[in-house]
Structure 1
Amino acid sequence: MLGFAPYAARDSRHWEWQYLDLMRHIWDHGDERVDRTGVGTRSIFGPQIRFDLSGGKVPLLTTKRVFWKAAAREMLWFLTGNTNIRPLLQEGVTIWSDWPLAKYRQVSGEDISQDDFERRIVADDAFALRWGDLGPVYGKQWVDWPTYQPAGDGLYRSGPGINQIDQLVAGLRDNPGGRRHIIEGWNVAELDQMALPPCHKTYQFHVGRGRLNCLLFQRSCDVALGLPFNLFGAALLTRMIAAQAGLEPGELVWTGGDTHLYLNHGDLVAEQLAREPDGAPVLDLIDVPESIFSYRFENFVVRDYQPQGAIRAPVAV
């Protein structure tokens, strides 16, 4: 465990020290390397964070503000299977704009601002259709994994898509002791079509004593900006699935592959490590719908969240 805080349930410290210890270890001891973005990172491999979701507890950082509303809207967007950023922008969520914006600038040669690009996506149907799509990213794989059927003469045609989320909920209800309760986003055949291959790629669920546990494997993790969103998103997804399967929320276990801090995040790291965690926010699910695909943002309420101020840093694209 590389000296990180032990399993949270056995640690008297605030759970968030696991995150801060991870950040400190990466910055002090991580392997410095050139990465896809050209910014450069300090990286380690294989850390773990554990968090108890019982009683409505939710892994929201308190040493800086996490914009959980954007993370919740993103998760609901995933569950629709939509791969266009337009519905997110219509709700004021801009976290996916960087990739289509970079592509538009490269192809068109137009030095358009992000605000202007986003306004055009929202206002112009044809522009959104051409430039707002991210390819078959997360939601497409989760609810419509492609299949192919023989069409004769050595040819194949598209078959019915596989809804992994629907199958997961049914499996947890009918066979809670199963070992195949998995959501997978890493479709090798379609990676090149995605604006960004899935980082939080594999979710495995486990039922024990009526509690639903989730293990998330994240193949690539931006600890400063991405991980706070990913922890909340995984907790929210687990809570929704547990409610649909008639289970209580259990433990969230996060495991990272290439787990890194960008070299231009030094100020963020210093400021956040100077702070101490405090508080225990709670996530309530209101009016649980019959289907996991019927959740709306209004179904979620976060209470007792009083974080320290936001810390901003650039996104590496």
Structure 2
Amino acid sequence: MRAIKILLLLLALAAAVAFGGYRYWLAQLESPIAIDTDTLFEVPRGAAFGQIVQSLEARDIIESAWPYRVLARVEPDAVNGLRAGEFELEPGMSGRELVSKLSSDDVVTYRLTVPEGWTFRQMRQRLNQAEKLDHQTSDLSDEEIMAALDHADTHPEGQFFPDTYRYHKGVSDLDILRQAFDRMQSTLASVWADRDDDLPIDSPYQALILASLIERETGVPEERSEIAGVFTRRLEKGMRLQTDPTVIYGMGDAYVGNITRADLRRQTAYNTYVIAGLPPTPIAMPGAGSLNAAVHPNDGDSLYFVAKGDGSHQFSATLAAHNAAVRRYILNGD
């Protein structure tokens, strides 16, 4: 009888110790982690949970790794969803909240903005400078990039939608390019399907080319359809488009900020002062506004426009009126 009492006492003591240990373990997980400022922590791709908690302990983010190792054994589902990426850890969050954070989609993201009217060359430069991006295209040619995107026979200019793209560490520049390419193709397809009747352009690609000219000619949103109207009427009449941005694009690196009369006469594939119709490819990345303007040009009779110097343009229906506008705004009345 005495032996039974002793055994029951030992069992009770063991249970008390176990219960106390369990409560202590829970308390460790419910207590705040050991940081007092916001801390960036990266979970490497493919890292095991044991490696992650060891790193957390080594960086003094948590006081000890053992409660988390126990958690992995007692509640394996709680640690199976950890994802790779950078996480912003905050003072006061508990151990359980830490594990939940590392299992969430709340990774640190970065922004990359591609402005409307930029060229593919400028977009590549921006991608090469972007922090935390996996730079896979830096040493590739334009042709190799398009092949990597499974569009080997496509000229890259104008094919990527200008916008702000969000990404997290580990995303590649090819991923951004693929998003931008798909976005432009879907936007262009939608715009083309809703186009006006009897346009002097025959394909979505021609609409893309025309939109790029509009994009480079004005930054004033309300002018886009008016400029589209001028270009449309010129195409219908067989007049050359005579738009300076095509001259600049055709000059390439030879352009240093000014266009001379010799430049206007220089024979390039893009110079619309010497070629008829549209240039062979877009000259920039147009935004949605210019794409819509290309397929919904304003009615009217204007065939010319000249920059006023404030970002807007003076539109004219006759060459005489245009020359007068040139004297007023370009030659300062001379």
The higher radius of gyration belongs to 2
Higher strand share: 1
Higher helix share: 2
Query: What band does the TM-score fall into relative to the shorter chain?
Result: under 0.3
Greater RCO, 1 or 2 (C-alpha within 8 Å, sep 6+): 1
